[in-house]
Chains A and B, each alone.
Chain A
Amino acid sequence: MNLTGTKITLHDMCLRDGMHPKQHQISLAQMVAVASALDAAGVPLIEVTHGDGLGGASVNYGFPAHSDEEYLRAVIPKLKRARVSALLLPGIGTVEHLKLAYECGVATVRVATHCTEADVSEQHIAGSRQLGLDTVGFLMMAHMVTPEELARQGKLMESYGANCIYCTDSAGYMLPEDVTARVSALRSSLRPDTEIGFHGHHNMAMGIANSLAAIEAGARRIDGSAAGLGAGAGNTPLEVFNAVAHRMGIQTGVDVFKLMDVAEDLVVPMMDHPIRIDRDALILGYAGVYSSFLLFAKRAGAKYGVPSADILVELGRLKTVGGQEDMIEDLAINMARARARA
């Protein structure tokens, strides 16, 4: 694979996807410290919001330590070069949340839908574009559809005004050939000036390999997370990917050693539990389950006396999609009842 000279944009997730393993309890001081250090390392784009995006504060997904507005207003003024993005899932967040993020100084809005439901994003993508923001269409659980269907959905988002479309491996299910097929399909059907991005989860330890496959197929934005802090077994570990990229001559503009320091000295000490491929995280990747379900399944499993691994397998069999956290307690009760009868 020769990617020498390819310029890409790294996008850090540890202050948004990393909110999942932190149960949305990252403090303002931690947010500011990590974001400032990422900025100093040269990371150009940093995502900051509730793990489930703007408006995610809820019983269903968890109430955060601070509101999106408080996080954004704390972080954005402290950054010298890096810009901040916000995630928004239509059905959870609204255009009002988007406007609030804009007023806080967000530069990028990423509008996320399940990979077959792009047409719920029209209001939000158009709204973001009208505000002049860098606007990304983020197609989640992209392993669940064919490359051709993913490209059709990407074209819809492009038609609403998105200037970048993501192939998002929310379950960490994809293998490199799956990424190649999907990113290639997006690249050949979208306009040449529409960027393509890839968001990986490390549940099958494929974060780095998949991101490289994505670049080879035409992706130019790559998501990762310092120390991998993210849902499931975490995101593509950004400091590792950056080091690999440097060895391969891929231009990220991010300092290899400074980013390692952010991961090791700031992010690892924040972790409530090690971000690693434990049995449940591996099942997420193997069975194709939304990574944020991990801790919910562990908690429901403990409460109702059902193995969390069994809950996750069942969530995969039922073809649940991102956001269906409310299914988990319901399902655990059903499974406990079935066991009591057996």
Chain B
Amino acid sequence: MEKIKAALIGSGNIGTDLMYKALRSRWLRPVWMVGIDAASDGLARAREQGLSTTAEGVDGLLPHLERDGIRIAFDATSAYVHPENARKLAARGVVVIDLTPAAIGPYCVPPVNLAAHVGKGAMNVNMVSCGGQATIPIVAAVARVQPVSYAEIVATVASRSAGPGTRKNIDEFTRTTASGIEKVGGARRGKAIIILNPAEPPLIMRDTVHCITEEAPDEARIRASIEAMIAEVQKYVPGYTLKNGPVFDGKRVSTYLEVAGLGDYLPKYAGNLDIMTAAALRTAELIAEEMGAGAFTPATRAS
């Protein structure tokens, strides 16, 4: 099967890491990278890998979409820029995988709800947030055993792994992650906290997931469900590790995780980037597979 061609919008940490992963894909071929700074390291690396580049933002890409046969674009810019990018790309029939917390489209957390996206033809799919990708699977693992009235996550990332986009978007991170905990994780109410830690050497991404179950937790079934879920995530993020827990304390179920990356672009401590880019790629590959089989029918939006 011919690979589906893709563009990467955003030449920062996420876009660049995603490029390296996409270059290994069986289903996708990244052909363009879009930035706004001609001197950015990401654009230089993209050229090195044979991608076409523009520093003119998404407008620099639009004239090339059709000629270069681009059908999928990853947006790794910011929540502020994404809506406009998404509008322009959707108007030209390009499916957008949104890695910003803008959350226009439905959320996708692959081990939880990737299958639910099959056949839906969504033109915009949102990846929630790095903290969401790392923690929502655990919330879902508890919620599939018994009702969760409240789930709260704490994502701690190395300062070096949080680029300017993340920093400007910190409220969007907490809002979008909390909403993903509810909509995809299945908790009745969600809360998200993010902490940046500047320690050197940088700490590996840490995630804590606290769930409050409605009734006393079924410890054996929850433990088994969490272990099975972790194995699912490890299929695409091998460095996703249970450090401690689940700790049961009354109705509180706490799980302590660490996420090490593959070190494609930033070093391995930046598991927050890896889990986001790996999840986005897995989502895009599913859509590419549908496209390759002629089975992707864009959903028509009610206007």
Contacts and interface: CB of A to CB of B under 8 A. Distances in A.
Interface string B183-195: 0000000010111
Contacts of A124: 171
A330 B244 contact: yes
Contacts of A123: 168, 170-171
B197 A90 contact: no
Contacts of B195: 91, 321, 323-324
Interface string B153-181: 01010010000100110110111000000
A120 B163 CA distance: 10
Given A91-B194, A321-B198, A60 B210 contact: yes
A117 B198 contact: yes
Interface in B195-217: 195-199, 203, 206, 208, 210, 212
Interface residues of A, number: 29
Contacts of B245: 333
Contacts of A116: 159, 198
Given A59-B252, A94-B174, A114 B196 contact: yes
Contact of A319 (B173, B191, B197): B197
Given A94-B174, A334-B244, A58 B198 contact: no
A91 B156 CA distance: 10
A266 interface: no
Nearest to A92: B193
A320 interface: yes
B193 A323 contact: yes
Given A116-B159, A119-B164, A120-B167, A60 B193 contact: yes
Interface of B: 150, 152, 154, 156, 159, 164, 167-168, 170-171, 173-175, 191, 193-199, 203, 206, 208, 210, 212, 243-245, 247, 252, 254, 256
B170 A59 contact: no
Q: Which of B171, B208, B247: most chain A Cβ within 10 A?
A: B171
A326 interface: yes
Contacts of A60: 152, 154, 193, 208, 210
B101 to A, nearest CB: 12
Interface in A305-342: 318-321, 323-324, 326-327, 329-330, 333-334
Nearest to B243: A330
Interface of A: 58-60, 90-92, 94-96, 114, 116-117, 119-120, 122-124, 318-321, 323-324, 326-327, 329-330, 333-334
Contacts of A91: 170, 173-174, 193-196
Nearest to B195: A323
Given A91-B173, A323-B195, 7 more contacts: A60-B152, A91-B194, A114-B197, A124-B171, A333-B245, A333-B247, A334-B244
B208 A330 contact: yes
A115 to B, nearest CB: 9
15 contacts: A58-B193, A59-B210, A90-B171, A91-B195, A92-B174, A92-B193, A94-B174, A95-B171, A117-B196, A119-B164, A123-B168, A319-B199, A321-B195, A326-B156, A333-B247
Contact of A326 (B154, B167, B203, B212): B154
Contacts of A58: 152, 191, 193
Contacts of A59: 150, 152, 210, 212, 252, 254
Contacts of A94: 171, 174-175
A318 B206 contact: no
A333 B171 contact: no
B247 A329 contact: yes
Contacts of B243: 330, 334
A120 B212 CA distance: 29
A203 to B, nearest CB: 21
Contacts of A114: 196-198
A154 B197 CA distance: 18
B128 to A, nearest CB: 16
B193 A321 contact: no
Contacts of A333: 244-245, 247, 256
B174 A326 contact: no
A152 to B, nearest CB: 13
Nearest to B198: A116
Contact of B167 (A96, A119, A329, A330): A119
Contact of B197 (A96, A324, A329, A330): A324
Nearest to A127: B171
Q: Which of A120, A123, A326: most chain B Cβ within 10 A?
A: A326
A319 B198 CA distance: 8
Nearest to A337: B244
B196 A120 contact: yes
A256 to B, nearest CB: 40
Contact of B170 (A120, A319, A324): A120
